Structure 1
Amino acid sequence: MTKQVKPTLISIILYEALFLISGFFSTLGQQFLYYQGAAIFFSLLTNTATYLGMAAVGFLLLPGWYGSRKNNDDINMASMTKDYQLLPGTEEETSIDAQNIINTNQPKEVVDHKIIFAAACLDVIANFALTIGFFYVGSGMYQVIYSSVVIWCAILSFFFLGRKISFVQSISIIGVSVGLALSALGINQNKELTTPPPPSSSTGTTMPHSYHMSNTMFGMLLTSFATFGYACVYVVSDQILTARAPNTLPPSPKKVCFLVGTYGSLISFIYIIFYTIPNWNILITQEMVKKIPHSSNFVIILMYFLLSFSSFIHNFAYYWLMKEIGNVSTSILNALRAIIVFGLSHMMFCKIDHGQCLNIWKGWSAFIVVGFVTIFSVSKARESK
């Protein structure tokens, strides 16, 4: 048995940086495409780019698949060679038999495609709702609200998987709820802004969706609902990765990511073929005309390719970190990501979209939500020791 090599501090920092940077780019890149009129939520284009990146994680499975296949070929070749042994009962024959027995008794990986397909369908629905909420509420508040997914996972795991919630974790759940409620006050405070964002053309303002506060409130509620939906996806995925029958192994996280990404891509492509492409003029062309001047078509297409690549890097780094430092540390990284994206959204988009502007209530909301998510994650880490 080979001894597992612990990752170096440099490699951990590198993967954490990849996880954060790709997360920043994915969130802000989708917001940029929306501001260009090239990513209206009903088109499902940004969702498809994300699923393609998830499916690309399958390339990381190729070395293991090739090694396993080569090992099986070697064993089969050795078994065939055994039939030509002139002297039975030799040490070599005994070694071959022992190897075959070990290979036969090893637990086999079992993949339940029906459950994974159901998880993919739930993921597509939650992702679609999350995208609508994202474009209504803005990238800053979206990231703060979405960071509460770890709380929803704990609540669902308590009811359906029988996992306990400690007193500190219960207080954290209440604290996150209070923090999310404060974000509504931050949205209401933006009503005091009497000057709309600067118009980009004669058709109206650049970003009317966040300027109408009722729409932004709807986006906040929808994002919260979609975050709950994603928590359901994570709990189902947890069940897929941990449940096992005798002499079987659950699929690896990378394989689940690959399969969910593949099924999600297929569902998204069906939607695009039958809805997005026939309505391309309304969903994309007319929306881009409203946002003139906008970036060139080359920049927009390049951004979609980069979104897929960013999704691949993000998922690759995520599963490496999950394996090496655990899900608690990745939850803390997501909390850090929420704070930084919140600040970057204010710096990059406040001038064209008042819904992205930071105010004291939004600041307190972000601080409380991220703070209690971090406390919750640290509590889970101590509990698992």
Structure 2
Amino acid sequence: MAITFGQLKTWKAAPLGDAGDGLKADLRLLESSRDELEANGVAKSWTGAAADAARGHRDSLVKDLSSHITGKQEMQKALYTAEAEVEVIERLVQGILDRAKTNEFTVGDDGSVTSTATPPQFKSRFEAEEWGNSRQNIAQELADEIEKALAKAVGVDAILARGLPTGIDEQGDEYGNIDPAIAEKWETLTVEERKAVLEEMVKKIAAESGVDMPTIDWNDLGNDTWDDGSITYGYWNDEEPTMALNPNVLDDPGQLINTVAHEVRHGRQHEAIDDMNDWQFWWEDDPFDEHKADGITEQQAEEWEDNFDDYKSTDNGATFDEYYNQPVEKDARNAGRDYLNNLTEEEFNRILEESR
């Protein structure tokens, strides 16, 4: 659900800092406990098989504690970073409201800007037009500032999502988390710019994967609805090839960026299967070698081939778990997650420029 200006007016930075301070206190206790366990968890004088087993168990606990501490440290860092960003948002919101009031405008919770000024008496049409234009300019400037504040809010959400330790956010663990700067930038793009950057992304990933650039279909999923409220973000058809993407979720960049990498991976799976089954003379290069170089084994390709021959689709009566847990989907999900997690602001900006 998109963040509204009404919600943004309630945002406060201080609780984020307080939460970070609370984690700092927890971290001191955890680090002290870990160090004590590591140093004195098993008496140095204890020897024998039981002692070795105890030390192994202690080392495992120390490792788990260290991992837990690292997760809390990342969350603490995210909270402090978000605190600074929300302080900026607070100033932006207050500035918007102050300027609106000074210039006789109101700002609705939905971000709409409405003039409340009573037009004065004008001596000429020129004066009336000049007054009207100045009002429109102020309204547009306020709208631009609102858009800027909302974009920054999306970035804050992404900062906190990325800071969550593994195991807390199942969605993020499975599908990845977008770079906050990319999320913020995305909010400033038009629908057509968003489509263009995704298409450029498909082109880039396909080229790197040795897959033909698919035709991008933005229409087929335009009316996609399911009784259970679920939604199809995209799919790959290898016959043409074609990638369908859902235009109704262009406000969810993380999921769509994951989807384009996920779907191109399906294309790579088909390519690997074709190359594995390709016949060549003994002196010719084996086309499967390029897949091996990228860590794909023939055993994987055989598994994918068997899977595609008996693909589990909910359209054909399979359960969601059967669809979700089949090898080609697991592999594609990993590809989508890794691409999203590793996509940097610099690379995104490069793709954005190339899409224009």
TM-score, normalising length from structure 2? 0.31
Between Structure 1 and Structure 2, the one with more helix by share is: 1
Higher relative contact order (CA 8 A, sep 6+): 1
